[in-house]
Amino acid sequence: MPAGVEQEKAVQGAVMEITVSRQDLLRELTATQSVVERKTTIPILSNFLVETEDDRIVITATDLDQSIRTGCAAKVKKPGSCTIPARKLYDYIRLLGDGEISIKLLDNHWVQIRAGRSNTRMVGMARANFPQVPDFPEGNVTRIPVPSLRTLIARTIFAISNEESRYTLNGALLILKAESIAMVATDGHRLAHIEKTAENFPGITAEKKTLIPRKALQELQSLLANTEAETLEFADDDSTLFFRIGHRVLTSRKLTGQFPNYEAVMPRDNNKFAIVRSQDLSGSIQRVAQFADERSGAIRMRLEQNEMKISSSSTEAGESEDTIETPYSFDPLVVGFNSAYLIDFLKAIGNEGEVRLEFKDAQSAGQMRPEDGSDEYRYRYIIMPMRI
């Protein structure tokens, strides 16, 4: 056989044969399968790309907007590559017992999988059809501590807009400075902003702002929850964001457009405040919200001398009121809020400790923040009032 033909067969991955531990493979398939498109019009996107690289296999999944590339150790008998239906492979490997699995590429892109007494052949697709996934750019990398980013995402992701038409709000803004990291998200009705100071990013001289799509943040959240790495490597180019966590790389297409000027909506003179236990407030809101108008979820907050009354009423469900003691010594105030927005914030802080609610008047945005005096994180949640 002429050398050129042999090379071509290798390029198409027509010879791949490997053995891998079921436990290792399943761990990596679990990390990647959430990126795979379920209802795609492009069949190849339903597949994993499996390639050999020295003594490991590399698994890639993409939906064209984002990709995950990961891998694990393997015995490579014959190097090569193939694509395998992702959901089928994941579900099948999950049902196998622990032990060694052999994966071999057959003719016509079929893939044979053997484990113990199980022998399966799956219909794959041509490797050449799999889209090119960009490589991690090694220049200009910023290292971000994993615990910090984990906290930033958890405390902002719920405030991202679900409205596709407002695409610049379909992500959270990451703000890196030489000595701090912050994240902000808004849907136009509420805004979550968290900043961690006393960080050190030697490569960052001016402020670096990056808009990260919600889908990428969700993937990041699950990758960060399942890593022992202490830092994440972040890089970007003109069109793509790259996050490397241990041996896994997540890429995401950048969101284009201008994130709104969030600093302009930060309340400046909310000089009336109440302090309550998060757990008490959360319990009261959840009880009262059962009787709120279903569409708006609006509840009324009445602040008077040393007490807060939370109430709601609707013609269908009835009415409900809860009273919480609080050291409040300002003019009485009645203001309406969407109960779900309040509960989201209380959940994000874990319903622990005390929370400070700051108001100006019934028409202006209210601000909530944890009253624990944490010097590490500055967390603020701004929420527009409702007419009730």
Which residue numbers in the chain have pLDDT < 70? 1-14, 373-374
In a domain, 192, yes or no: yes
Task: State pLDDT tens for residues 294-310.
Answer: 899 999 999 999 999 99
Global pTM reads 0.91
Q: Which of 246, 262, 278 is the last residue of a domain?
A: 262
43 neighbors 125 (Cβ within 8 angstroms): yes
Residues 6+ apart with CB under 8 A from 33: 61, 86, 87, 90
CATH (domain of 306): 3.10.150.10
Residue 366 structural domain = 267-383
Of 262, 290, 307, which residue is a domain's last? 262
Decide if 177 is inside a domain. Answer: yes
Distance (Å, whole) CA 267 – CA 264: 8
Q: Please give the Cα distance from 282 to 345 (Å, whole number).
A: 10
pLDDT for 108: 94
Q: Give the pLDDT confidence score for residue 246 in this predicted structure.
A: 95
Rounded to whole angstroms, the Cα distance separating 210 from 280 reads 37
Q: Provide the CB-side half-sphere exposure for 373 (13 A, CA).
A: 0
What DSSP letter does each residue of 79-92 carry, written as one string?
Answer: --EEEEEHHHHHHH
**C-alpha to C-alpha distance for 293 and 289, rounded to whole angstroms:** 8
pLDDT at 8: 42
Q: What angle do CA 94, 99, 100 make, to 5 degrees?
A: 100
pLDDT given for residue 373 in this prediction: 63
* Number of domains the chain contains: 3
Tell whether 258 and 300 lie within a shared domain. Answer: no
